[in-house]
Chains A and B, each alone.
Chain A
Amino acid sequence: MAKTQVRMSVNGREVEALVEPRTLLIHFLREQLSLTGAHIGCDTTHCGACTVDLDGKSVKSCTLFAIQADGASITTIEGMANADGSLSALQEGFRMEHGLQCGFCTPGMIMRAHRLLKENANPSEEEIRFGISGNLCRCTGYQNIVKAIQYAAAKLSGAPAKEAAE
């Protein structure tokens, strides 16, 4: 099928490329833009490892064609660190609270948590669990992911962060 041009903003940078209509956004990001942070973990839109932030929405980039994202503004995990290179509150929280092990679900999980905290700056544990229910993890059992998100919520709202007790 003939390729079409798409234009979008990814992590604050304007990009332009040629895609087939059927090119999935996840493949576009990973293979054409070399943004390999978002991952593929399933075939049926369940696992959420491909989650990115698109026009203020958490979306599973495996279930969107790149061409549908024409004109959109996308943030991926590669765009999450602070301008000075330091880890964002969520990235720091995941590290401080041991919210990851193999790291494969982590980019999608952090991108989803990022939007979750914008929807709800101070979510309860139940709200966090419901809020990340579109992201599967095989390693952590979610408990420390909840703590990681709570850490980030506290830090973002200015409360003193509680480190995982020594």
Chain B
Amino acid sequence: MIPAPFAYHRPKSLAEATALLGQHADTARVLAGGQSLIPMMKLRLAAPDHLVDIGAIAELKGIARKGDSISIGAMTTQHELVASPLVAETVPIIRETSLLVADPQVRYLGTVGGNVANGDPGNDMPAVMMCLDASYRLLGRGGERRVKAREFYRGAYATALADGEIVTAIEVPIPRAGHGYAYEKLKRKIGDYATAAAAVVLVADAGKISQCAITLSNLGDTPLNAEAAAAAVVGSSLDAAALAAAAKAARTIMAPAADTRGSVEYRTYVGGVMVERALKRALARSKT
């Protein structure tokens, strides 16, 4: 219940932050909202010698439209995502997902950057960002670069982040107006990680799906991009056969852990059910 001791740093600029992270290398951890890191530190599962609190860096806040994309600062909290009219209007799946993350208090502090960057297979935003084909802007001592969400996740707690790099912003291409979307999350109770969850973003013309992306949360070591499942519904009006094909294809890439939420068999089965339900809801929502 008590963390190990550490030295605390609160840089006022990105330059200062990257310098600190470079200097202290793997003895340092970034403190964003702290709602994932601090619980781990209290159980002493994480015991960094240095904490670099990036909460004072103004450039990391803010949600803005930038041409065809929305740019979301990494220190944007889940609460701010829920409250943002811009997000609600352009990428509503993010708002729907935020409301399914943790609980009201944790949402006030927990950040979208923290949720996407630490590689915890249980987090919800990674799959949603992959579904939206978002990109992460990364900053390290070597400068800035962009990595697509779909290429960011390597394994459990293993991402494309190089030593000393942080996510500074998420750039989300704005889906077509009237697109269909849904984040379908099966969980035991509020605050729990997903037993199984599926994100769907689609475009339909007169009820026929022309574009579709399906991704999965907590059904493997990393969030999963169910490309074959998505392909199985493109061109269809989501009849029973297309739904079943999508669920079946999605199941073949799932490799959930057996834990207190359920067996591998159960989580795989309901993972497919989440895909079907997310697809149906997304299509019902689409307005084109």
**Known interface pairs A43-B42, A60-B105, A116-B104; A1-B7 also in contact (CB < 8 Å):** yes
- Quick one: which of A45, A46, A59, A130 has the most chain B CB within 10 A? A45
Known contacts A46-B191, A63-B34, A64-B38; A134 and B51 CB within 8 A of each other = no
Is B22 an interface residue when CB atoms closer than 8 A count as contact? no
Q: Evaluate contact between B105 and A112: CB separation under 8 angstroms.
A: yes
Does B2 sit within 8 A of A, measured CB to CB? yes
Count of chain B residues near A, Cβ 8 A: 29
- Give Cα A59–Cα B108 distance, bound, in whole angstroms: 7
B39 at interface, CB cutoff 8 A: yes
- CB-defined contacts of A130 to chain B, threshold 8 Å: 104, 190
Question: Which residues of A13-66 have CB atoms within 8 Å of chain B's CB atoms?
Answer: 20-22, 24, 40, 43-46, 48, 51, 57-60, 62-65
CB atoms of A134 and B103 under 8 A apart:
yes
Q: Write out the residue numbers on chain A whose beta carbons fall within 8 Å of the beta carbon of B5.
A: 1, 20-22
| Distance in angstroms between the alpha carbons of A28 and B106 in the assembled complex | 20
CB distance from A15 to the nearest CB of B (A): 19
Contact (A21, B34) CB under 8 Å given A45-B106, A57-B108:
no
Q: State whether the Cβ of B55 lies closer than 8 Å to any Cβ in chain A.
A: yes
Q: Across the two chains, which residue of chain B brings its CB closest to A27?
A: B2
Nearest B-chain residue to A116, judged by Cβ: B104
Number of A-B contacts (CB under 8 A): 81
Determine the distance from Cα of A1 to Cα of B43 in the docked complex, in whole angstroms. Answer: 19
Q: Which of B16-52 contact A (CB under 8 A)?
A: 31, 34-35, 38-39, 41-43, 51
Which chain B residues border A64 with CB–CB below 8 Å?
34, 38, 109
Q: Given the complex, which residues of B lie within 8 Å of A116, measured CB to CB? A: 104
What mask results when residues 112 to 139 of chain A are scored 1 for a CB within 8 Å of chain B, else 0?
A: 1000100000000000001111100000
- Cβ contacts under 8 Å, A132 to chain B: 104
Q: A51–B34 Cα gap in the complex (Å)?
A: 15
Would you call A4 an interface residue if the criterion is a C-beta within 8 Å of the partner chain's C-beta atoms? yes
A67 within 8 A of B: yes
Contact B39 A68 (CB under 8 A): no
| B86: interface (CB < 8 Å) | no
Give the docked Cα–Cα distance between A11 and B191 (Å): 29
- A60 surroundings in chain B (CB, below 8 A): 105-106
> For B42, what are the chain A residues with a Cβ–Cβ distance below 8 Å?
24, 43, 62-63
Extra contacts, 16 of them, besides A4-B8, A112-B105, A133-B191 (Cβ < 8 A), are A1-B6, A21-B51, A22-B2, A24-B2, A44-B43, A45-B39, A60-B106, A62-B42, A63-B42, A65-B34, A65-B38, A67-B8, A68-B31, A68-B34, A116-B104, A134-B106
B: residues with CB less than 8 A from A are: 1-8, 31, 34-35, 38-39, 41-43, 51, 53, 55, 79, 102-106, 108-109, 190-191
Interface residues of A (CB under 8 A from B): 1, 4, 20-22, 24, 40, 43-46, 48, 51, 57-60, 62-65, 67-68, 112, 116, 130-134
A-B contact pairs, 24 of them (CB 8 A): A1-B5, A1-B6, A21-B5, A22-B6, A22-B41, A43-B1, A46-B191, A57-B79, A59-B108, A63-B34, A63-B39, A63-B42, A63-B106, A64-B109, A65-B38, A67-B8, A68-B31, A116-B104, A130-B190, A131-B104, A132-B104, A133-B103, A134-B103, A134-B191
